[in-house]
A and B are shown apart, each in its own frame.
Chain A
């Protein structure tokens, strides 16, 4: 048996690996959509529209570009960690 045959045999005993990867990609895409929305969306593309609103006297689009996007980035990474740990428990992956 070659290395690859061994590999296929072991992978076929673990169908949950494929499911885990699929769930990971879905989660990653979802979070990247938010990542894009707060930075390129709120901070750049739709800044003018958002600037009509304000937060404590700061135009909202400007605030997202200099503050809000950074706070969201932090939340996104910790949500990712939390959800990935949950996925790893669910699929019995040791992480």
Chain B
């Protein structure tokens, strides 16, 4: 059986499983649909959160990004895990104790304001749509590259699958499919990593291989990598030229952004109690770390492997017979380019441009001692996608990696869909415009909203190449979540005096400048005749990815000052805040709970 068949088999099998789970886990009430009936076991929720969290980018691109950035890639590793400490300690248990369905529920009820709820809905929708477009285009790419299916058709297949389990099962269906998707993706990620670690360092555990000596040599893997890359004119792998302030700001923006992302927060509404919410965050991080501590090893191994096997080899083109030509080159005492390079060249994820016309592939950095130009381009996704072939693993593993990438993309897309659907059916319809709506009607609207969101997400995926902001998902989603949502949620729990006026001022202060800054430096307001910003103009030298943290500080200060100069929140609200701080003491409090009673 060849790789193509294995890929079809794995993708078919995993998709059938997801649909099976969807039919089993149908939602019967809004409580089921939005928060899986508050009945998910903390370990199960931890696993679902991990799948929800790890997107197509975490699975396919992160290791390759670290391979290129070296130390600079640490911002993603620390940022996307450290946020869970903030979630567990500062938000998740309290929000669970608060006992409603969505993030705008908390903002709207805690700050007794429809405007505050509406601003929170806007933040949640923008963040989620930006994020989901990337997932859908990831699905399209996976189908078009590996299954020979047209990009748009691939997106339609993905839409169909998510449609079934999100519309039928709501959060309940999504939760249990995410568990299955986690199993698929973690298996697909670690199997090749283990074999590569064995091959390179003799240690089967990638995290240990990362700090071991190169197999058969008396030099550590990272020291050898540093030597190899500096000899070719790249920066040292284990250090960076980026400023400390910028690295710290990006890390902080990713951490606080993680803690403020609605699709992550709502996962902690699905467990039975506040104590389960914090435990669940711990398990989520364990399941996430299973991939995130392997990723830097995969990145370093692949950087070393690619240079070792590709640099200074004789290129074999697509029009030549690989085996015959390779034997011929070896007979001349030279090294042929590796077979995986030849095979992946078709997908355009790797490329060779023979600048000096010598037929030899030179990989060179910006300061190459021999002055040669770089001739080889390697896409970030290659570190993960080609790893089974580099490690010479059988065809079934390669198919598994594709199924893993799809699992990562679909699970994240589904989690985001639930946020979008609930923002429309619950926050806008039930809580803002049609307050008398009953549960049956709301559930029906929730399904329609989920269906509509699937279609909208699919079209955003199809047109993602034309939507410039989609490529900046890291800056937009995390920056906006950190600057606009984190301060009002955090202060709403830890500072009783925070009031409606402060909350609205804080969200607007976080949202508008962050959005404008990122847009100006990544997309550009050319429509208004303003040139796109350049790096030299960065505020304090902080990149768009890190600016969310700067404006988060500003938004918090504005929120506090405005609260202090305006009237204290009503007594009901202050009593409510006291309640959510002590598990099991939550009672209904007048204006905070008039629109919707808290869960038991």
A38-75 contact mask (Cβ, 8 Å, vs B): 1 or 0: 01100111010001001111110011011101110110
- Establish whether residues B85 and A31, one from each chain, have CB atoms under 8 Å apart when the complex forms: yes
Interface residues of B in 287-303 (CB under 8 A from A): 289, 292-293, 296
Contact (Cβ within 8 A) A62 B238: yes
User: Using an 8 Å CB-CB cutoff, how does the interface string of B562-600 with A read, 1 for contact, 0 for none?
Assistant: 000000000110010010011111010110000000000
Q: A4-B575, A56-B220, A57-B223 are in contact. Are A73 and B82 (CB under 8 A)?
A: yes
Complex contact B85–A3 (CB within 8 A): no
CA distance A15 to B222 in the complex (A): 56
With A45-B248, A66-B296 known, 12 other A-B pairs at CB within 8 A are A3-B575, A57-B219, A57-B223, A62-B238, A65-B74, A67-B210, A67-B296, A70-B77, A70-B293, A80-B89, A84-B278, A93-B583
Contacts of B122 in A (CB 8 A): none
Interface of A is mostly: helix
Contact B251 A40 (CB under 8 A): yes
Contacting pair B578 A59 (CB below 8 A)? no
How far apart are B128's CB and chain A's nearest CB, in angstroms? Answer: 25
Known: A3-B572, A31-B85, A59-B238. Is A73-B285 also a contact (CB below 8 A)? yes
* Residues of B74-115 whose CB lies within 8 A of A: 74, 77-78, 81-82, 84-86, 88-90
Interface residues of B in 507-527 (CB under 8 A from A): none
B247-263 with Cβ < 8 A to chain A: 247-248, 251-252, 255
A67:B207 contact, CB within 8 angstroms: yes
The interface residues of chain A lying within 8 Å CB-to-CB of B589 are 3, 7
Question: Is B553 an interface position by the 8 A CB rule?
Answer: no
Partner of A57, one of B78, B81, B222, B282: B222
B292 nearest in chain A by CB position = A70
Contacts of B587 in A (CB 8 A): 7
* B residues at A contact (CB < 8 Å): 66, 71, 73-74, 77-78, 81-82, 84-86, 88-90, 207-208, 210-213, 219-223, 238-239, 244, 247-248, 251-252, 255, 273-275, 278-279, 281-282, 285-286, 289, 292-293, 296, 571-572, 575, 578, 581-585, 587, 589-590
Chain A residues within 8 Å of chain B by Cβ, number: 47
Please determine whether A58 and B238 come into contact, CB atoms closer than 8 angstroms.
Answer: yes
Mostly, the B contact residues are helix
Contact B278 A93 (CB under 8 A): no
Are A73 and B74 within 8 A (Cβ)?
no
User: How far apart are A77's CB and chain B's nearest CB, in angstroms?
Assistant: 4
A39-B78, A44-B251, A69-B82 as given contacts; A57 in contact with B88, CB under 8 Å: no
Chain B hits for A40, CB < 8 A: 248, 251-252
Q: Which residues of A contact B73 (CB under 8 A)?
A: 66
Across-interface contacts of B239 in A (CB, < 8 A): 51, 62
Contact residues in A for B78 (Cβ distance below 8 Å):
39, 43, 65, 69-70
Return the contact of A62 from the options B71, B244, B248, B251 (Cβ within 8 A).
B71
- Interchain residue pairs A-B with the least CB separation, the first 5: A57-B220, A56-B211, A65-B74, A77-B282, A94-B584
Contact call A74/B285, Cβ cutoff below 8 A: yes
